[in-house]
Chains A and B, each alone.
Chain A
Amino acid sequence: MKTLDLQELEKRFQEKVDKEIKIEPNDWMPDEYRKTLIRQISQHAHSEIVGMLPEGNWITRAPNLRRKAVLLAKVQDEAGHGLYLYSSVETLGADREATMDDLHSGKAKYSSIFNYPAVTWADIGTIGWLVDGAAIMNQVALCRCSYGPYARGMVKICKEESFHQRQGYESLVTLCNGTPAQKAMAQDAMNRFWWPALMMFGPSDADSPHSAQSMKWKIKRFSNDELRQSFVDATVPQAEILGLTIPDPNLKWNEERGHYDFSPINWDEFWQVVNGNGPCNKERIDARKKAKENGMWVREAAMAYAEKRAMKKTA
């Protein structure tokens, strides 16, 4: 058989992508495609795991047992998403522990939204509604990603995320129909989370370094700005139903565009938080490092025991 040259392989790869044929782990793929996916999927996995912290922080203080159970189940789902995603990364030849070490060293990023603190109970509903809502906008598109394992994982993840979003919204409906103190708590959460939620879609298209190639490879289907606009359009009417004010004086319907106009995003804040200067960056990474360090002896024990068992079997 004739060895295919690199150009020919790349050409065939792109043809498959163009025909919407999924790329599977054993298929040939360009190194950069593999690297991009490892970076993106591991960041996604880290976001799920770091995202457990602001919400987990409210499990012991949930206001009633039903909300406590719902929150436990939700955070458990996030951990499950982390597991699928780390498994997807492993299909690309990366190692789960090594990608986690990259998180701890600051080399790998995660969604910046989790660097904001969850300080009141209303933050939990707001995170479900806005943060999971923004995540779904991104993730629904990822269900059609060209890489098979990631696309299939996203289908299941999206179902759960959309459930979380409805739970979050339902929790806010209760607050907004409650006492003035509860309504004020909900508005305060909206004031703090609105802009960070819009930042979740990443830099503007003009400043997004990896976007064009990812679109060509069909890892990405829509640009950051397109997704951000869809999110604003979908969310404004939901806020109106709640009776909450979106903290943007320039937010208004643009008949001509058929979209809402909104103020420019504070990109200085975005980059500060991405680069480690958000209110909770240090706390989040420290918590993950501590879990790893404190768990070292547990993992060693499990391995030592498994080895002893294997030796007994062969003896």
Chain B
Amino acid sequence: MKNESLYNYVLRLGDDSLILGQRLGEWCGHGPILEEDIAMTNISLDLIGQAMSLLDYAGEIDGNGKDHDALAFLRFENEYQNALLVEQPNGDFADTMMRQFLFDAFRQPLFEKLVHSSDAQLSAIAEKSLKETRYHLKHTSEWIIRLGDGTEESHTRAQKALDNLWRYTDELFSETSADLSLVTSGIVPSMVEIKEVWNKTVHAVFAEATLQIPTNNWQFEGGRRGVHSEHLGYLLADLQYMQRAYPNMKW
């Protein structure tokens, strides 16, 4: 492989989009309002599109002729490098919006920086994805504020979602020593910068939403190195079903 560090970096971006897109797709037909059914399906569609571009590019860097489908459908569970946050179950609408908001607030500054990557392909993917992510973040920020500052019930549910999901947020900013070499070469930004922007966004939105950041700051990690929660296996069983049951066919 000509650049293993870049491969892993791009694969992680692709896996985050893939797994979260798959999760959101589960809402289709069951949203709380028709308009939100459309919005969640739309975000899912954007994420699947990003996954296609990113996984294709990962395959290209790898040089083994694997396209997005080979990477999306034919890896074992411990070969997926998505963050634990995105594989968490949909729960109720507050859980889904909170998971999406915490993620969008991370991806927007990340793509903003990746647009300036010295790697032309990564920069092009980031530019397209950034436009989509800006809409996603706007949408989810508004819902977090609405739910937090809505009724007593919606506040309780939003706070519970935040309490549950906060422990998966640090992992988004984890960096390996290989990543740091990409930072030095100007291919990717430092996660320190991204976290600063993320912190500002989430603090501002939670303040307006009257939500409290949990005081228990114990953080989980593992997804980035292939150690996942029990939830991922079921998600992959659905995702991979056709490719595993009917191997080597064109669809």
Is B a genuine binding partner of A? yes
Q: Are A291 and B250 in contact (CB under 8 A)?
A: no
Q: Which residue of A lies closest to B154 (CB)?
A: A301
Find out whether the CB atom of B151 lies under 8 angstroms from the CB atom of A304.
Answer: yes
Expressed in whole angstroms, the minimum distance between the Cβ of B233 and any Cβ of chain A is: 14
Q: Tell me, yes or no, whether A62 is within 8 Å of chain B by CB.
A: yes
Q: By the criterion CB–CB under 8 Å, are A304 and B150 in contact? A: yes
Contact between A53 and B29 (Cβ–Cβ < 8 Å)?
Answer: yes
- Stretch with Cβ within 8 A of A (4 or more), from B67-75, B105-113, B115-123, B132-140: B67-75
Contact residues of A between 35 and 57, Cβ < 8 Å to B: 49, 52-53, 56
Map CB proximity to A onto B44-87 as digits: 1 under 8 Å, 0 otherwise.
Answer: 11001101100100000000000011001100000000000000
Say yes or no for B251: interface residue by CB 8 A criterion: yes
Stretch at the interface among A178-186, A187-195, A199-207, A255-263: A178-186
Convert A64-84 into 0s and 1s, putting 1 for each residue whose CB lies closer than 8 angstroms to a CB of B.
Answer: 111111001101100110110
Q: B45 contacts A73, CB within 8 Å? A: yes
Which of the residues A64, A86, A121, A175 comes within 8 Å of B73, measured between beta carbons?
A64
B243 lies within 8 A of chain A by Cβ: yes
Give chain A residues whose Cβ lies under 8 Å from the Cβ of B32.
Answer: 291, 294-296, 298-299
B146 touches A302 (CB 8 A): yes
Q: How large is the interface on A (under 10, 10 to 19, 20 to 34, 35 or more residues)?
A: 35 or more
Chain B, 215-244, CB within 8 A of any chain A CB: 235, 238-239, 241-243
Residues of B within 8 Å of A68, CB to CB, are 25, 48
**Cβ contacts under 8 Å, B246 to chain A:** 63, 179, 181-182
Q: Chain B: interface secondary structure?
A: helix
In residues 3-41 of chain B, which contact A (Cβ within 8 Å)?
18, 22, 25-26, 28-38, 41
Residues of A within 8 A of B147 (CB): 298, 301
Q: A121-B242, A178-B250 are in contact. Are A65 and B41 (CB under 8 A)?
A: no
CB of B93 closer than 8 Å to a CB of A? yes
Which A residues from 268 to 315 make CB contacts under 8 A with B?
287, 290-291, 294-302, 304-305, 308
Interface contact A79-B25, CB-CB below 8 Å: no
CB distance from B209 to the nearest CB of A (A): 10
9 A-B pairs closest in CB distance: A295-B32, A301-B150, A301-B154, A63-B242, A56-B29, A63-B251, A56-B28, A298-B32, A52-B29
Give 17 new A-B contacts, CB below 8 A, not counting A291-B32, A302-B146.
Answer: A56-B28, A56-B30, A60-B22, A61-B238, A61-B241, A65-B68, A72-B41, A80-B38, A83-B35, A174-B251, A294-B30, A294-B93, A295-B32, A295-B33, A298-B32, A301-B146, A301-B154
